[in-house]
Structure formats: C-alpha cells, structure tokens
Amino acid sequence: MPRENIVAINVDLQETRVALIENGMIAELLVERTHQKTSVGNIYRGKVTRVLPGMQAAFVDIGMEKHAFLHASDVIVENERSRRKQPIRETLQEGQSIPVQVSKDMIGTKGCRITSDVSLAGRHLVYMPMSQKGGISRKIEDEKERARLQKILARLETEEGALIARTAAMGASADALEADVAYLVETWQEIKARFSKKRKPCLLYDDLSLPLKVVRDKFNDSVAQIIVDDPDVYEDLRGFIDRLIPRRLDAVELYTGDEPIFDAFGIESEIKRALERVVELPSGGSLVIDQGEALTAVDVNTGKFVGKGSRDQEETILRTNMEAVEEIAYQVRFRNIGGLIVLDLIDMDKPSNRHKVTARLKEVLKGDRAKTSVNDISRFGLIEMTRERTTESLGRMLHESCPYCDGTGSIISRITIASEVLREIQRTADEPPVGFLEVVVHPNVAEVLRGISQAAVKEMSRRIGRKIKITVDKNCHMESYHVYSRKP
C-alpha cells in the first residue's frame, strides 16, 4: 500500500464506501447505503401543521412519511435573524411555510429533527443565511491565523447571513475563501428561488453525495490521490473539483485494476479486523472492545509476558498501556465510536507512568476530527473519555443483533433448554394419556435430549405413561421448542 494520504472510493449496487488512508493506514471508513441515505443537511420547504405551546415545539410537514419535529430553540426569528427565548406561538403559526434543514434523521416511528437555522458548508467556510453571528472554528488556536481570517471574513461580508471559518480554512488564501463564498451564496439563491416557486412541502436542496462530501471536507494538499472504481462517480468528482479546486483536477483517478479496489489497498481485511471484539497489540497484549447502548468499554490485557522482576513488570505494563492507547485512538476513529468510552488500563504503580499514558492518548487523539475529551487516569487504572457522536458507528452499521441472543452475546444453554422441554412435557401430560408426545426441537437440543438427558427423558416417559418422540427441525430457533400430543 502506498505510504501517502489517499481517498479510495468503492461504489457497489447497494452501497458506497469511502476509505481515508493516512500514511499507509486506514484512518476512516464511511459508508452510505442506497436505501438508507441520510437526510441530514437536506433543505425542505416545510409547512407547520401543529404548534405545541406546552412542549415549545411544532410539527412540520416536509413531504416525508412522518412530520418533522422543530423545537423552539431551533427557530430563527425571521425579522431578527437570531435565536432567542420566545414562546413558539409568537414565532410560528399553523399553516405557515418556512425553509428548514434536517439536523437528525428519522429514528423508528419518530420523524426527522429539523432547524430553521439553515447552514451550507463549503470547503473552507460555512454560510448561515438566516443568522447574523459568524466566527472562526475553535480548533484554529493560532492567534495570528485567527486574526488573518477575521480580516478576510470582514471583507467578505454577504448581503444576508453570516460566515464561519471551518478548521480547513487555516492557511487558505483570500481567493480560495472568496470562491467559497461565491459558491455558497449562489447555492442559497437557487434554494430561495425554488422555495418561491413551490407551494407544497418538498425537497429544495439535496445535500452532497458521500464521495462529494468527502472531497469537500477532507480533500486538501495532504491528500495525494482520490481513486474511484465507478466511471459515473469519477465524472461527478471531476466536475465538482473543477468547480472548487481546478488545480487539483489531476488528483482524481479512475481505478481499472483486476482485483476489487478495497482488496488492492488492503481495506477489506482491515474492516474485518475493525469488527472483531479482540484486537491484538504488538507486545502480545490485547484490547477487548465491548460497545453497549450507554457506553463503550475497552479492557487492556498484558498477555503472557509481564517481565521477571517488579521493575521489568512495571516497564512491560507501561509499554503495553502506551501501545494500547495508540491503538484505542485508532480504533475509536476507524470504528466511529461516539459517546462515553471507558478504558480499563493495566494498573501502574508510578504516577509518572500514568501521566505518560494519559498524555500519549491526548496526543494521538489530536488527529481525530471528532471532538474528544479525556479525563486523567484514576488510581484504579480507568480513563473516562468522550467522543463526539457524528453518525452511526461502523459496528452498528455493518452488524445487526444476533437473532439468537438479541445482542446480549450469549444464549440459553442446551442443557437448560432440555430441562425446560422436560418441564413442558410434564405440563402437557396432565391431559388424558392418549397416544404419544412429539417434541420438536433444534438439532443441538435434540442431541442433548438423546445424549446426556436420555435417562431423564425415559424417566419422564415412565412417569406420564406416554411415549416421547424427539423430532429435529433445523429451522427451529435453538431456544424454541414445541410439544404436541399425537393420537396413536
């Protein structure tokens, strides 16, 4: 694999996958499925259908199956172009039409979450046409750079709205920022024109496809190539880049290799590794990653070798923990794990070593585009950290709950199910003892009933005075069984 930053794009019939490769390692994997395309970022002509003063919210028809939810805190007061605490009845009326943007997709039976504070993202800037408050990304910490950008933004004032300099604006020329503004303002004018022409709730602006979003957000001078295996997407990328960064047009390449593009770059094998619960470390230690609903727990194990003496042991533990936090930073970014993450490191006696490990974790997390926060390591070897939850994690996107265990990670044992079957037989035996009983079970349970539980089955048959027949059904869930009373 080339030791340079590359964006590899694989387009299949059902999904598009984009891998960001940094210095030969896959830093991020993004997936967009045809039937699960996100609506976040899309702008609609909405019609207020119901205002709920008690909830300080409203339901808005945007042309989807479910009406969208708009909270008062996400409502821009039109004549003031600002958000302020105001009863929702004073800002919205039923039947009113407004432009809104989706901020959160539909989940289950709930409609989208929307905002009237519309924003359009460019390569370097975010344009907020309904707001008057701009600014500069907090991630740009250099005061000279902030001052430079502030001067440029002051010259780029728009007739309406405000501008925010993204992190990607750092080092960008005034011409590049001006081109961004022209593109964003033109886009907003097109959206307003569509809003005026339409009369019913409908889509006004479909946000960029995944490949184009990646180019907009991640394609900078550190990326040497964008390689895509689909001719149509290749042409879309060239058109988009020619409009925004024509000097980088040659960076786009159509992949024509014999083997699949993700195989050629070693991405498929890395995806499989990212979905494993146990991740091996170079020193022989390992990580055990358990992602739950409320939090993700990462347990660090030393492996077999921990050194001979106490000093050797402490050094080995330090080395394993240092390897662990580097791998953890990589894994949470690649797997896109968000929310609360608890790291259970190996206990270290020296406070200086605990400080080294925490400092190293914070250092390697600087390369993560998602916001992270790390607490100091506790005396029990625990680190609590949080990571911004942007989209669904890779594991949740590529996995679904096991039909046997319902996501718990374990199922009822075969011997337990066999015991339940015997109890069910006893309940059924209360009926008049005519004919025989047929027990339909999964092959694994049948093996137990015919093996270690065979004596118990014979004794039950003797007690109820009826023959018991074990029938195997390969399609039967292992935890399910049926007991039927059959005529002779």
Write down all domains in the chain, each with its CATH number in brackets.
5-37+208-268 (3.30.420.60), 43-205 (2.40.50.140), 275-398 (3.40.630), 414-486 (3.40.1260.20)
Q: Contact, 116 vs 98, CB < 8 A?
A: yes
The pLDDT of residue 11: 92
The pLDDT of residue 406: 66
Any idea of the CA torsion for 176, 207, 119, 336, to the nearest 10 degrees?
-90
Per-residue pLDDT tens, the chain, 488 aa: give them.
344 789 999 998 888 999 988 887 888 888 888 777 788 899 999 999 999 998 999 999 999 989 999 999 898 865 455 555 678 888 899 999 999 999 988 876 788 999 999 999 988 999 999 888 889 988 888 899 999 999 999 888 777 889 999 988 888 889 889 988 998 999 999 999 999 999 999 999 998 889 998 888 888 888 899 999 999 999 999 999 988 788 889 999 999 998 999 999 888 887 877 778 888 888 888 899 988 777 899 999 887 655 555 567 888 889 999 999 999 998 888 888 888 999 999 988 888 999 999 999 999 998 887 889 999 988 778 999 999 876 667 777 676 767 666 666 677 888 889 999 998 888 877 666 678 899 999 999 999 999 999 999 999 999 888 899 999 999 888 888 999 888 87
Lookup result for tokens 């929702």: 88
Q: Contact, 332 vs 302, CB < 8 A?
A: no
The pLDDT of residue 235: 95
